[in-house]
Structure 1
């Protein structure tokens, strides 16, 4: 089976892949609760002859599917969780299916489906004797809370890999070369003494006071951390009524920085401030560590193969109706947001993209020096094996991720990008499995850039997947 025949096989499966993507879009599920979504993908892979292991890393909706025998072993990462509060119909105005329900505002209904499509095509190439080795599809839950891959990594799920590839929906077809912020996600709960705030405040000890002192301390801390570091917080429990001294209060923190080392340093400082806040208020404090992740390191060798296959796959077959609906969605996005997106691009790319509602042509890698202030647990995989990822244009140029516009796009024309993304994933994996030099070169770069054994899980030994946490990353 040649590369062109591999692509043809994916085209033959296009209608089936779109049905899967639409089914996931119609029943969006939050991270660690993607029972139906994971089951659809698992069943598809099992029916295709893959050996599937479920419940990986203590998460019922995490799975690993393998096909082939021996090495090399190349992984394809897939996601399928939705976001809270983003329910939306396929319309060009805010119109939730059910107010407050989840929606696929990051395109993960397309994400996991494309990976499955690529894995099935590669199965056929293995059966035809064109490539040797093992294809491993990873069903990764709870990306939006930065949980899935980190807990899977702690369980050793990625240790067998010689390389990994992945993608993400977006507004351009291009490899992602820039880095991302590492992160820790943790909660502090303060315990005090309840009392009548008017009648006997002297007998109370306010847990909310401790939270507010912690947050105030962090505001002063900001002056003394690096410009690229970030500290976000939300008070998730601050008491019940003004006339009751809160006996318990909880604050949730994200600690981000360009490196794990800086995240750990800033987290220790945050813990010191939390302890000091407890001392000042005569309360006690406990910590719940939810998750942590590494910064992303793009492997240049694998990324170059992605770029070659982005070009080989051509363009996404959007038609005039798709572009018209995309233009309607784009009109609801603030001009400042669109211009901000264009400002991120090289001048020639920005000029080509400007005025387009959908841009389906491949775009050369360009963000090598960009430091994203967001985070992804693809970073953890990139510290374990040579890893590369790309974006594919599934929503209008400039539309922000995690928005109702993106949900509408991913329920409609964005589904045409599934086969395109599957071709890029399958083609790149095909190249890695058929060219031993590519694997060797990718590994040599990995050893130089990251180093064997450099990864240590950011999770404490007692950390468990946070099944009760569903808030967004961003």
Structure 2
């Protein structure tokens, strides 16, 4: 049997997959609260014959769906959380469905659905006796806050995989061969004493002052960390009224760097700054470690299989209406925003894709030695099993991720990119399950890259999934 069989299975389920992606798009849910989305995906898999284990790793919206038995065991990773404040109709003008509501500005409605389509296609090949082994679908919540896979990894749910596959929506079809930043996510909660800010400020101790001093300290710290390191923050709680000295305040930090070691060094420095701010303001500080993830370790043999299937599946079949809508969306994107995306591309690739609103063809791997500024907890999976991932075009070339324009695209022509991704994933899983030599080469490269050391979670034993950091 060739991979063409699983491509055909995916194609035969186009209507089901389109309906499911639209259903998730219409009910966007924030991380760790994706109850409807997780249930829709899990129910579909259950009805298909998968054994579904809900609520893994202490997260009600995390699940593992399994079909088959024996080796090899191939895992396909799915995501389905949305982003706050990006509610948007399928229009080329800003038009929220619900003002302040969530929206799929990263395309996870397509992400979770494409991976499901691939898992179903492989399952049917196993059922028909054309493949042997085990296929797993991992329902991974809260990717946007780098939570889901890190807690799942700590729980050991990826430990017996021979390989893992995943993808992400984007503006080009290309394998991901570069790395990503490791990260720590932590919250500092300061406690002082309330007082009347006008009548008796001397009797108060401002927790907000401690937050601001922490942030000032970090600004001076920035000069002395590597150029690749990143520290950014938000203030979830800054007090309630100007005439009350805030007794409670908090600041939420992401600490990123290309390696876990540098992340840990910079986090320790950040902790010293927060403690110093508490000392200066005579307040108390408590730290909550929310999440942490590894850098991404791309596996060459697995990525090569992905690329072979991208070439075999061929261009996405965008039509004139898709291109027209994509052009309309791009007209609302500032030139500087599109420029900042395109300037990261090699010059010859940029010249090829820039004139297009949508670029349907597979693009060979590039930027192998580049570490992206962002982070992904796919990195943790990549330190447990050989892992490959790729991007597929679901939004206009150069449109910024996490934008309303992307929400609109992912509710429309993005579904065609989703179907492409499902075929590539199904084909890659098929090829890995029928080629023990490639799996052996993937394992050999993995062992060399990790030095044979077992995966270590960045999470301290007391860390728990931060359900309160995103509202339902």
**TM-score, shorter chain, exceeding 0.5:** yes
| CA displacement at 1:456 relative to structure 2 | 1.1
The equivalent of 1:9 in structure 2 is: 9
The equivalent of 1:181 in structure 2 is: 181
The equivalent of 2:287 in structure 1 is: 287
- CA-based RMSD of the aligned residues comes to 1.1
| CA displacement at 1:111 relative to structure 2 | 0.4
The equivalent of 1:36 in structure 2 is: 36
Distance in 2, matches of 1:90 and 1:240, equals 37
The equivalent of 1:313 in structure 2 is: 313
Count residues with an aligned counterpart: 471
Distance in 1, matches of 2:470 and 2:372, equals 22
The 3-state SS of whatever aligns with 1:468 is helix
Distance in 2, matches of 1:364 and 1:318, equals 20
The equivalent of 1:343 in structure 2 is: 343
Query: Deviations 1:394-418 (Å, cap 9, x if unpaired)?
Result: 0000001110000000101111122
Contact 2:180 2:372 in 1 (8 A): yes
Distance in 1, matches of 2:258 and 2:394, equals 28
The equivalent of 1:238 in structure 2 is: 238
The equivalent of 1:413 in structure 2 is: 413
Q: Structure 1 regions of 5+ residues with no counterpart?
A: none
TM-score normalised over the length of structure 1: 0.97
Distance in 1, matches of 2:455 and 2:5, equals 38
The 3-state SS of whatever aligns with 2:21 is helix
Query: What does residue range 316-465 of structure 1 map to in structure 2 within 5 Å?
Result: 316-465=316-465
The 3-state SS of whatever aligns with 2:468 is coil
| CA displacement at 1:423 relative to structure 2 | 0.8
The 3-state SS of whatever aligns with 1:329 is helix
Distance in 2, matches of 1:199 and 1:84, equals 39
Distance in 1, matches of 2:150 and 2:291, equals 7
The equivalent of 1:110 in structure 2 is: 110
The equivalent of 1:154 in structure 2 is: 154
| CA displacement at 1:72 relative to structure 2 | 1.1
The 3-state SS of whatever aligns with 1:448 is helix
Distance in 1, matches of 2:337 and 2:196, equals 48
Contact 2:149 2:377 in 1 (8 A): yes
Query: What does residue range 194-209 of structure 1 map to in structure 2 within 5 Å?
Result: 194-209=194-209
Q: Structure 2 regions of 5+ residues with no counterpart?
A: none
| CA displacement at 1:2 relative to structure 2 | 2.4
Query: Deviations 1:22-54 (Å, cap 9, x if unpaired)?
Result: 111111111111111111111111111111111
| CA displacement at 1:381 relative to structure 2 | 0.5
Query: What does residue range 258-273 of structure 1 map to in structure 2 within 5 Å?
Result: 258-273=258-273
The equivalent of 1:66 in structure 2 is: 66
The 3-state SS of whatever aligns with 1:374 is coil
- Answering whether residue 134 of structure 2 is matched by residue 134 of structure 1, we say yes
| CA displacement at 1:340 relative to structure 2 | 2.6
- Answering whether residue 99 of structure 2 is matched by residue 87 of structure 1, we say no
| CA displacement at 1:124 relative to structure 2 | 1.6
Distance in 2, matches of 1:175 and 1:130, equals 27
Distance in 1, matches of 2:62 and 2:453, equals 24
Query: Deviations 1:333-383 (Å, cap 9, x if unpaired)?
Result: 112222332222222221211210000100000010111111111111111
Distance in 1, matches of 2:324 and 2:238, equals 47
| CA displacement at 1:125 relative to structure 2 | 1.4
Distance in 1, matches of 2:207 and 2:348, equals 55
The 3-state SS of whatever aligns with 1:305 is helix
Query: Deviations 1:265-297 (Å, cap 9, x if unpaired)?
Result: 111111111111111111111011111111111
Query: Deviations 1:58-87 (Å, cap 9, x if unpaired)?
Result: 011100011111111110000011111111
The 3-state SS of whatever aligns with 1:292 is strand
